Chains A and B, each alone.
Chain A
Amino acid sequence: MSQPAVIDHFEAPTDEPEYKKINYLNVDRGVRSWLLTLDHKRIGVMYMASVLLFFLVGGIFAMLVRLELTTPEPTLISANTYNRAFTLHGVIMIFLFMIPAIPGIFGNFFIPLMVGAKDVAFPRLNLLSLYVFWAGAILAVSAMATGGLDTGWTFYAPYSTTTPATTFPALLGVFILGFSSILTGLNFIVTVHSLRAPGITWMRLPLFVWALYATSIIQVLATPVVGLAALLVGIERVGGFGLFDPGRGGDPILFQHLFWFYSHPAVYIMVLPGMGVISEVIAAMSRKNVFGYKMVAYSSLGIAFVGFFAWGHHMFVTGQSVLDNGAFAVISMLIGVFTAIKVFNWIGTLYKGSIAVKTPLLYACGFLFFIVFGGMTGIAVATVSLDVHWHDTYFVVAHFHFIMVGGVIMAFLAGLHYWFPKMFGKMYHEGWGMTAAAFIILGFNATFIPQFLLGNAGMPRRYYMYPERFTALNVASTAGSSLLAFGFVIILIYLIFALVRGKVAGSNPWGSRGYEWETSSPPIKENFEVTPVITRDPHSYQNPGEEVEHVVV
């Protein structure tokens, strides 16, 4: 029997980059070997392909909405098509991109690697979650495309129960997608509890795993509630029970409670994994373990817990009591406290770190910017007296795009660039990476800062036409979004180029000490040659008597 590999020190990357001839990508060949695989890494890659496809579709609808809004009058599409376009944009981006993106791709790929396991706890369930995702996605998208869903992604009753558009299949699609998310979350929780390699105690878990663990708790506990809320709307339409119809004694506000009980925590399903990615990237790029590791780990759980009790801040103007409003406002602000703990600790990590300015770090800095300014405007809209004015304006649109979309996209791209060599064994072009990062971060600001101003000036969200005086800011926002789109086109081109003809990256091009880099890149099918025994903290860069090295690539 072979000795377990004890990992207590760090080996500097070798000069000759090595590409394992047999790895998880080519150990079995053929479409069938991919579709029936139980390998968490392949499932992660398939999630990546599907999620990126939906990101492209959602992005096209975003551009359509922005183009329509360049003039106050009808521009390109009819009012009805406009309603459908922003609904498609919202539903696709939230349910098919932001929720599955980081857990589905990086969670699946890296949680087993980071806990030193061969696979997730339930590999078949993992594959099932991908198929359930595909089924839900196909149903939801085809139903929206043919049925013309125009409710927005929130499906608010009573409009969703009375609109002439077909809503039931789309709602069923969302219900099914929820199960995919639940299965993924369940799998991760059990994996973290039962499959940690010898030596990986809870306080040695990488912060990405901590963040995904907190996310999984939300996925498991909150997703079923929105599943049922969506189903109730569908049942109401088909059966006509009048559950949400005030004309027959129903309560449309009940729908909002059920909906936001999930959909507010869903914001943390989207952004918490992003925070995990940023912890990893900042630690690797500044050659230090994250400052205040324990606090960053616990604050993930704090956000997950408090997030369950903040949903009422979406409903300040529904006529709920002043006491409720005040309580929800204060609880919402607590989220800001936990987020600030993380932000200060990340900055504390960068401080006096040996910083490598690489593409992942640029996105991490972009993340910090969007989280801070998105978070500050979040505190502003959590203040009841202010929110009454900002409610349903572009200020709210800009706020959640900053914190949620900005956060997820920055973290996703940071993770994509940081882990690209790990996943595919190839290196992207650093110069193009930085160029695209500049386009995306500047473009994102140029898109949404005008929307803050628009909302503050009183432009309501989801409107098709608007007064003349809002034209300039709307044009500015659309111009910004084209910069953003251009940035994504650059990334698409250089990443495809890197996949096909990129330089071989070697096992650990960043010299990172995250546990996932302790195996070859791309990893072999079993992840590690032998089960690793970890005797050090994640991202502990200083061996006794050794100088800290800089990133080599």
Chain B
Amino acid sequence: MSSSSAVAGHGDDHGEHNSHLAHHFETIEQQDHAIRLGMWLFLATEVLLFAGIFVGYAVYRHIYHETFH
């Protein structure tokens, strides 16, 4: 009983009256999950964006080993 009312109260506090909760999310937890996942994916793409520079550096360091010393 207490748990169900807690869930309902939770929905009231964070759900309909929470200005941070976008309309297409049901709960704030769902929204947090989406935001975290999105940020991690963005970081993954950034790593790969700069991977090209690191690969280039690695290749030329390997070919011209002497020059880098």
- The interface residues of chain A lying within 8 Å CB-to-CB of B41 are 186, 189-190, 220
Q: Please, how many angstroms separate the alpha-carbon atoms of A187 and B34 in the complex?
A: 9
> Can you sample 7 A-B contacts with CB below 8 Å?
A118-B23, A121-B38, A189-B37, A190-B41, A221-B45, A228-B52, A251-B63
Q: Are A117 and B52 in contact (CB under 8 A)?
A: no
Q: Shortest CB–CB separation between residue B39 and chain A, in angstroms?
A: 10
Residues 227-284 (chain A) with a chain B CB within 8 angstroms = 227-229, 232, 243, 249, 251, 254, 257-258
Q: Are B24 and A194 in contact (CB under 8 A)?
A: no
Q: Shortest CB–CB separation between residue B64 and chain A, in angstroms?
A: 7
Q: Are A229 and B52 in contact (CB under 8 A)?
A: yes
Q: Please, how many angstroms separate the alpha-carbon atoms of A220 and B22 in the complex?
A: 24
Pick the contact of B34 from A195, A249, A531 — CB < 8 Å?
A195
- The interface residues of chain A lying within 8 Å CB-to-CB of B19 are none
- The interface residues of chain B lying within 8 Å CB-to-CB of A194 are 30, 33-34, 37
Additional pairs, 4, CB under 8 Å, beyond known A182-B45, A191-B34, A225-B48: A118-B23, A189-B37, A227-B49, A251-B63
How does the 8 Å CB contact mask read for A102-125 relative to B, with 1 for contact and 0 for none? 000000000000000111011101
**Residue B7, interface by CB 8 Å:** no
Pick the contact of A193 from B34, B42, B59, B64 — CB < 8 Å?
B34
Q: Are B24 and A186 in contact (CB under 8 A)?
A: no
**Residue B46, interface by CB 8 Å:** yes
Q: Shortest CB–CB separation between residue B44 and chain A, in angstroms?
A: 6
* Residues of A in contact with B (beta carbons under 8 Å apart): 117-119, 121-123, 125, 182, 186-187, 189-191, 193-195, 220-225, 227-229, 232, 243, 249, 251, 254, 257-258, 531
**Residue B53, interface by CB 8 Å:** yes
Q: Are A122 and B55 in contact (CB under 8 A)?
A: no
Known contacts A251-B59, A254-B56; A119 and B24 CB within 8 A of each other:
yes
Q: Are A186 and B59 in contact (CB under 8 A)?
A: no
Q: Are B50 and A228 in contact (CB under 8 A)?
A: yes
Q: Shortest CB–CB separation between residue A19 and chain B, in angstroms?
A: 25
Q: Shortest CB–CB separation between residue A226 and chain B, in angstroms?
A: 9
Q: Shortest CB–CB separation between residue B9 and chain A, in angstroms?
A: 15
Pick the contact of B38 from A186, A227, A232, A251 — CB < 8 Å?
A186
Those 3 A-B pairs whose CB atoms lie nearest each other, nearest first:
A228-B52, A224-B49, A118-B24
Q: Are B24 and A123 in contact (CB under 8 A)?
A: yes
Q: Are B38 and A225 in contact (CB under 8 A)?
A: no
Q: Please, how many angstroms separate the alpha-carbon atoms of A354 and B34 in the complex?
A: 40
Q: Are A254 and B37 in contact (CB under 8 A)?
A: no
Q: Please, how many angstroms separate the alpha-carbon atoms of A194 and B31 in the complex?
A: 8
Q: Which residue of B lies closest to A117 (CB)?
A: B24
Pick the contact of A224 from B25, B37, B46 — CB < 8 Å?
B46
Q: Shortest CB–CB separation between residue A166 and chain B, in angstroms?
A: 23
Q: Are A190 and B49 in contact (CB under 8 A)?
A: no
Residue from the set B26, B56, B64 with the largest chain A CB neighbour count within 10 Å: B56
Q: Are B38 and A220 in contact (CB under 8 A)?
A: no
Q: Please, how many angstroms separate the alpha-carbon atoms of A454 and B38 in the complex?
A: 48
- The interface residues of chain A lying within 8 Å CB-to-CB of B22 are 123
Q: Shortest CB–CB separation between residue B47 and chain A, in angstroms?
A: 8
Q: Which residue of B lies closest to A229 (CB)?
A: B52
Q: Please, how many angstroms separate the alpha-carbon atoms of A220 and B33 in the complex?
A: 18
Q: Are A531 and B26 in contact (CB under 8 A)?
A: yes
- The interface residues of chain B lying within 8 Å CB-to-CB of A221 are 44-45, 48
Q: Please, how many angstroms separate the alpha-carbon atoms of A117 and B30 in the complex?
A: 12
Q: Are A258 and B55 in contact (CB under 8 A)?
A: yes
Q: Please, how many angstroms separate the alpha-carbon atoms of A412 and B33 in the complex?
A: 33
Q: Which residue of A lies closest to B31 (CB)?
A: A194
Q: Please, how many angstroms separate the alpha-carbon atoms of A123 and B52 in the complex?
A: 30
Q: Shortest CB–CB separation between residue B30 and chain A, in angstroms?
A: 6
Q: Are B53 and A228 in contact (CB under 8 A)?
A: yes
Q: Which residue of B lies closest to A187 (CB)?
A: B38
Q: Are B34 and A224 in contact (CB under 8 A)?
A: no
Q: Please, how many angstroms separate the alpha-carbon atoms of A225 and B46 in the complex?
A: 10
- The interface residues of chain A lying within 8 Å CB-to-CB of B30 are 194-195
Q: Are A220 and B52 in contact (CB under 8 A)?
A: no
- The interface residues of chain A lying within 8 Å CB-to-CB of B26 are 531
- The interface residues of chain B lying within 8 Å CB-to-CB of A228 are 49-53
- The interface residues of chain B lying within 8 Å CB-to-CB of A257 are 55
Q: Are A232 and B24 in contact (CB under 8 A)?
A: no
Q: Please, how many angstroms separate the alpha-carbon atoms of A531 and B24 in the complex?
A: 10
Known contacts A123-B24, A224-B49, A228-B49; A190 and B34 CB within 8 A of each other:
yes
